[in-house]
Amino acid sequence: MTIVDVDAHYLEDYTVLADYLDEPVRSRIRNQPQGWLVPNSTGDRYLSGRINRDRDVPGTNPRRTQPDEVPRIMEFLGVDISVQISNLMLTLPNMNSRELAVGLCQGYAEYMIDKVCDPAKGVFSTVIVPTQDPAKAADLVRRYGRAPGMSSVTFITQWAQPPLGDIHYDPIYEASAEVGLPIVYHASGAGLDHFLIDGFQKFIETYTLGFLFHNLATLVSVIVQGLPERFPSLRFIFQESGIAYLPGIMYRLDEAYLKRRSEAPLLTKLPSEYIRSFYFGTQPLERPENDEHLAAIFDMVDAEDRLVFATDYPHFDYDRPSAITTLPFVSEEGKRKILGDNALSVYRFDGWTPPERETSPLVAGVAR
Amino acid sequence: MSAPATRLVRVAPTADIAPGERRIVEVDGRSIGVFNLGDGFSAIANVCVHQGGPVCWGRVEPRVHAEVMPGGEVRESLSPAPDTIACPWHGWEYDVRTGTCLANPRKALRTFPVVVRDGDVYLEIAERAS
């Protein structure tokens, strides 16, 4: 069995990314304090140190990833392929500066290709697109999207305006279709403490709602604006919100579409049918006490063919492969597809060949 | 039916586990945390029921309580002594004495009896059926 982690985070040093850029953006990025460069939000994800990664992988720095640490982290997680996604850029859409957003994405792509990606060892990354400047984002997709190690094109969905199904972003979708990479929509913690409704008191509130809201907004926009019809070769993967929200939006949007089809004339089938053609990262997978409830959701979203396993390591809510291996209602074949085969068919993992062993040894260790 | 057979497994001299400290030991291939809580010892399995994390490496801290005061103010307080352990992987909290999961009392860590005898701390372990 091949285990693919479609979402793990690389904790990069942005001053190193700047080395790949031309002046004056190079100095503007390198010399900025991080808090000014990409505004983050308050709220300690790690509960003031209660949750910590210090003991996970001995000899690594849990606050700043080094390229050679990635295979050891993958071994700790029990995964064969890992898509490393920038940690810093998870707040990208909060930036007003187009030139700095484009510069960071360019520096990130260059750095990952130069230092981190190692297809033979299963280490891959993704082209992150600065939604602030669709034309330049499309240039980045064309320039780096064919590089070995680049598995996909990633939008950070938090606060992207207009919503991501809009024709405003067509240059990015055109370029992605051209290089043959799937589209990842990655919800993130950016600005969660400044949720649409101000005044939530605790991170648990904005965390629970924020990821979900931005995935819902993206799903609705992508479907109603007819993106799958306008770019039929593109495949779409939504990450970071679990899966329990999907039946709700599927059937609510179907209901609205049946009444207001004239507002979405590009569609050729029910919204829920589009959703069942999309892929969804599993993390953080919900575990209702009654397994039958989760089994029903799996059935509604065609889970065995559409879910792609993700850890989100090292974030506080990361999942291990045991989140899937312990599901009593999923067949062995279904687990194999969710843990790896679905991702192998939708992402581009050129340069990777399966090892000869049958199962990932660490997965056996944590399967309980 | 007779009580299942048990044996005592020596953990450490009592003086080696000071109040507030812990010792994590391997017994029959299982990792078990033994905690000196000041007023006694407790022992819990070092395997979080969530995703198998090393819960016994986690912080032992007082529990956060809250009550609604007359007038509606919500007043939070901490229990007087550390009584709660949180798994370092994802933060699941347990009563360090009973192993009960605070957020869902239907889930619990396995616990083991601790015996203090003649200056040593022992775990009482059930003999495995052969």
Hey, is the C-beta of B61 within 8 angstroms of any chain A C-beta? yes
Q: Which CATH architecture has domain A4-366?
A: Alpha-Beta Barrel (3.20)
- Residue range B110-118: average pLDDT? 97
Closest Cα in chain B, distance from residue A5 (Å): 16
Q: How many residues does chain B have?
A: 130
CA distance A70 to A84: 9
User: Lowest-pLDDT range, A189-203, A218-232, B31-45, B108-122?
Assistant: A189-203
pLDDT greater than 80 at residue A356: no
CATH 2.30.30.90 is held by the domain B6-126: no
- Residue range A239-267: average pLDDT? 96
A117-166 residue pLDDT tens? 999 999 999 999 999 999 999 999 999 999 999 999 999 998 888 999 99
DSSP A164-177: TTSGGGHHHHHHHH
Hey, is the C-beta of B47 within 8 angstroms of any chain A C-beta? yes
Calculate the average pLDDT of chain A: 92
CA distance A139 to B116: 70
pLDDT tier for residue A67 given thresholds of 50, 70 and 90: very high
Report CB contact under 8 Å: B91, A323: no
pLDDT at position A364: 43
- Pairing of the two strands B6-13 and A307-308: unpaired
- Residue range A308-327: average pLDDT? 97
Q: Per-domain residue ranges for chain B?
A: 6-126
Report CB contact under 8 Å: A51, B106: no
pLDDT tier for residue A291 given thresholds of 50, 70 and 90: very high
Query: Which residue of chain A comes nearest to B106, CA vs CA?
Result: A289
Query: Which residue of chain A comes nearest to B48, CA vs CA?
Result: A368
A202-215 residue pLDDT tens? 888 888 888 899 99
Of B52, B54, B90, the CB nearest to A316: B90
Calculate the average pLDDT of chain B: 94
Report CB contact under 8 Å: B59, A318: no
Hey, is the C-beta of B54 within 8 angstroms of any chain A C-beta? yes
**Mutation site for A-interface testing, chosen from B59, B74, B96, B109 by largest number of A Cβ within 10 Å:** B59
Closest Cα in chain B, distance from residue A47 (Å): 8
Tokens for A290, please give them.
């009654």
Cβ atoms B84, B63 nearer than 8 A: yes
pLDDT greater than 70 at residue A224: yes
A35-63 residue pLDDT tens? 777 766 656 788 888 898 989 999 888 88
Q: Tell me the β-bridge partners of B35.
A: B22, B42
| Ramachandran category for residue B114: left, alpha or beta (phi over 0 → left; psi -120 to 50 → alpha) | beta
CA distance A91 to A128: 12
pLDDT at position A33: 79
Hey, is the C-beta of A318 within 8 angstroms of any chain B C-beta? yes
pLDDT at position A361: 47
Report CB contact under 8 Å: A49, B59: yes
Q: Tell me the β-bridge partners of B27.
A: B30
Report CB contact under 8 Å: B88, A50: yes
Q: Per-domain residue ranges for chain A?
A: 4-366
Cβ atoms A363, A307 nearer than 8 A: no
pLDDT at position B39: 92
